[in-house]
Every structure is written in C-alpha cells, then in structure tokens.
Chain A
Amino acid sequence: MHRMYKFKHKCRKIGKGTEDDPIRPDLSSIPAIAELHKILDLLRHKHKEITNITFYIAQVKSETDTEFEVEIIVTDNLPNNIPEEVRKAWLKLKQLAETSGT
C-alpha cells in the first residue's frame, strides 16, 4: 500500500471500553467513510465480501477525553474487479484526502 493520500480528522470517542465495544473514533462522522462502509456491509450481507483489499487505514494520532485525532490513509488504487459502487465510494474518500490531506 502506498501512503500517498492521507488526512487528519477529529472524531468523537464512542464505545464503552470493553473488548466487545472498545473505545474508538467515530469514523462514521466522515461521510465518505460512512458511505463506503454502508456499501461494503451490504455486500457482506449478500456474501459478496471483497476480501483482502485495503480501502484505508485509520490510526489515532492524539486524543483528549472526548475525541481522537485520527489519520486516515487512503489506498492509492484499487484492483479492476472492484464493484463500481464500491469504487465510487472509495473515490470520494480518496478525493477528500487529496483535497484536504497532506
């Protein structure tokens, strides 16, 4: 994975801190990510899961009591056989990284 497209975003903390519900950044506050996961979840339910393809990586850079500053690193390209609706959602995330990222 080439880390060409990345940006930082502040997300509120969600989760109870248990193993099954860990404290985590609310990535759904980033619309492009929320849309991408919505499509991927639909595919999973249809047993059309796209395996071993990394769409992005999110990692915490800093935190306060209430929020995380998260770095989103978007994969620079996807294979040709990715469904079009997934590609479109991923492209929105990539464009977000290109326009607001570092």
Chain B
Amino acid sequence: MTFDPISYSLAKKKLGWKQIKTLLETEGSINALYDSDKDGVIDADKVNALLSRLQIDVDKDWGGHVIKNLGTPVDPNDVARKTDVDTVQQNLDTHASLSGGTHGVPSGDRILHTGDIGVANGVCPLDANALVPLTNIPTTLTGISADMVDGYHAGTGANNVLVLDSNGLVPLTNIPVLDWTKLQFFGVRQEILAEFSDPKLVIATTSMLQLLNSSEKVEAASGNITATSKELTIVGGTATASGRSWVFFDLPDPASKIYIRSKMNSVNAQATYIAFAQSAGNIAWGNTSFYGYAAGLVIPLATADFKLWKCIGGTTSILASEAVDLSNNVYYDVEIYCDLNTIKVWRDGVLKFDAIGDTTNVTEINSIQFACYDALTTATQTSKYKGVVVIIYE
C-alpha cells in the first residue's frame, strides 16, 4: 500500500474516520488539485520545480553523477568547468616544455630568485663593468689550463708563453741574437751608434789617468801633459815659445767611421781641439803630412768660438763655425761623428755642424788627437779634457 500523505496528515489531526471521509469528500476537490487521479501520489506536474526555491542545507554527494552544462564561472567561488581546467592544463604543459624566452626555464630545474645571487650554488653578480668581480674568481683555477690564458700555451716554441728552465732562468735557446744597434752604450749617442755595423771600442772612460796611460803623447816640452783621474791637462808650448802638445791614439786598422766624445776646456789656449786624421797620430796639425779634421774651441777669436777645420797637406781651412762667444775655464761636451762623407759635431748635446767631408784627400781615419795649441811666446797656454771620453771606430 502506498503512502497517502493527505490521509496521513488528516490522521495526525486525530480525526475520526468519518470525519476524515467527510473531509475527503468535501475537500477532495481541493486535494485533487495535487492528486488528480486520487491515487495518493502527488502529481508530478503539481510540484513546484524551481531551483531558486531550493535551499541547500547539506553537503551533497552526487554519487558519481555529473553536473552538466554549467555556465562560464564569473566570481571567485564559482565552479570551474572542465573546459576551463583543460585550458589551464594546456598552458602548464606548454610552459613546462619551454627552455628559453620570457617563460623559459634554463636547464637545471631551477628558476633564479634573488636569494640565488652571490651564494654557493647560486649565480655570480657582475660588477659595474659587466665583468666578473675578482673576488668571485678562485685564487687557484683548479681544473683550468692556466697556460691557455689569452689563447697561448706555455712552452718554449713559437707564440708560446715562455716557460723558464729548471733554474728559473730564460733558456738560452730562447734568447735571440740581439740587435746591438738598438741598445744603449754609455756615453754614446744612440742614433750614431746605430750607424755602426761592427764597431770597435778604443776607450770609454771617465778616468783621464786611464786615457793618458792608454795613449801616446807628443809634448812641446817634457811634462806638458799630466793627468789625474778627473782631468787631462795639456800645456801647448812653453812660457817663451808657442807650441803644441797632444795625446793620440793610432787605430789598429783604418776606419771609415769614427765617433769621439769628450769634454774640453780651453783654460787659456789659442785652440783646444780633437783631431781625427788619415795621417799618423804623431804628426802635428799644420804639418805638410797632416790630412784630417778637427773640432774644438778657439776662445780668443771674435764671436766664432766653436769650429770645425780640415787640414790637407798642411793647409788649414774652416769647414764650419758657430757664431758664439764661449768662455775659458768651462767644460763643453763635444761629440764628433765622421763617416768620411759627412762630419757631424755636437756641442753640449746640440748638433752644431753637419759638414761635407773631403773624400778626395781623406779616405780613411787612422788616428785621434786630443790637443792644445799655444800661440803665445810670453806665457803658457793650457787645455783640459775630462770624461766621459769615448772613441769608437769601424
């Protein structure tokens, strides 16, 4: 028997059966509104099915059933549809597959965050010049071939970074034959030294004792030439006679080039000069056998105190003169270079003369003289020389 809610509700009112029957007969028309066939079951179409009237008051187990055809979620607590979830999953799948670009994740399964900078297993921050700070470079580059710095291997071969030998020295095989013309030699003008290809050194000293002991001499009177370690003193003549005294070097072989340097001081001499001649060193300037040149001081003359002369067969002529008044008892640093074709003379480091040589009459240089010419017959005249004195020839 089916449950009759109307009868049940009337029974709950404790009505007698007759009373109920009466009600059913009088009100049946009303109940028939809900149960037209009076089968005790409310007609389905009489039940109000609007969900808006449904009050949800309990969690609902849908028992595996599907809520179909939901609308697009709008508010934060709206239920997402399957299509919405599928879209999110698709985006995640795409993101996971990227390894570059804005959304890419470098290999290593790690995304950079600020806590990774400058820490162990993190990343190194560059400095203001976009370079790795030295403090972030290990002192010892373990595992790195240091000999490949700049791309050059260490070794002793071409383009290698040189490896020293077992004594910490440069291997001899790695020392080239030096171009000596690029080197400095004390007391010698560099650009002149470069003019020589195979120079021979006669003397290089500041000791005038060494110069005097290394040279020969011609004295107008015995004792005219003396030396200390500092100065070479040459008296030209005597108190009653003019004259000339000098020290000289005869070269072992004829020279085509010669460089001479000395400081010279005309104490009171008529002429203080350095001669370089084809003739032998013991032949006096002015002698008919003298062929050569000289540069020096002639203080007593008018304003032309520094000169370059030549003497050919005893005839003296002036090749060049500097219009200058120089002083007695002052040392002047004089340098001479002659390659037969040209004669260059410096005074105190300044090139004064660049004259043309007499290649007809002077074809080689065989001697050098440091001289004093005394023109007076009433007193002695003196010249002095001091170092550095250098004589080079080839």
Which A residues are closer than 8 A to B by beta carbons?
1, 15, 17-20, 22-25, 33, 36-37, 40-41, 44, 49-62
Count of chain B residues with Cβ under 8 Å from any Cβ of A?
A: 30
Which B residues are closer than 8 A to A by beta carbons?
270-271, 285-286, 302-303, 308-309, 314-327, 350, 352-356, 373, 375
28 A-B contacts (beta carbon < 8 Å): A1-B350, A15-B318, A17-B316, A18-B316, A19-B316, A19-B373, A22-B316, A23-B315, A23-B316, A23-B318, A37-B302, A40-B302, A40-B303, A40-B325, A41-B302, A51-B327, A52-B327, A53-B324, A53-B325, A54-B322, A57-B320, A57-B321, A57-B322, A59-B308, A59-B320, A60-B318, A60-B320, A61-B356
Contact B303 A58 (CB under 8 A): no
| The 10 nearest A-B residue pairs measured at CB | A59-B320, A23-B317, A17-B315, A22-B316, A24-B318, A55-B323, A40-B303, A54-B324, A56-B323, A49-B325
Contact B318 A52 (CB under 8 A): no
Closest-CB distance, A40 to chain B (whole angstroms): 4
A49 to B299 CA separation, bound complex (whole angstroms): 12
Contact B325 A17 (CB under 8 A): no
CB-defined contacts of B373 to chain A, threshold 8 Å: 19
Give the contacting residue for B354; candidates A22, A52, A59; CB below 8 A. A59
A36 to B302 CA separation, bound complex (whole angstroms): 11
Contact A20 B321 (CB under 8 A): no
Known contacts A19-B373, A37-B303, A52-B326; is-contact A57 B315 (Cβ 8 Å)? no
In the complex, which residue of chain B has the Cβ closest to the Cβ of A75? Answer: B323
CB-defined contacts of A40 to chain B, threshold 8 Å: 302-303, 325
Closest-CB distance, B6 to chain A (whole angstroms): 139
Contact B317 A15 (CB under 8 A): yes
Closest-CB distance, A55 to chain B (whole angstroms): 4
Closest-CB distance, B293 to chain A (whole angstroms): 12
CB-defined contacts of B321 to chain A, threshold 8 Å: 24, 57-59
Query: Which of A41, A60, A61 has the most B CB atoms < 10 Å from its CB?
Result: A60
Contact B327 A59 (CB under 8 A): no
CB-defined contacts of A25 to chain B, threshold 8 Å: 318
Contact B309 A22 (CB under 8 A): yes
Contact B285 A19 (CB under 8 A): yes
Contact B355 A59 (CB under 8 A): yes
Contact A22 B350 (CB under 8 A): no
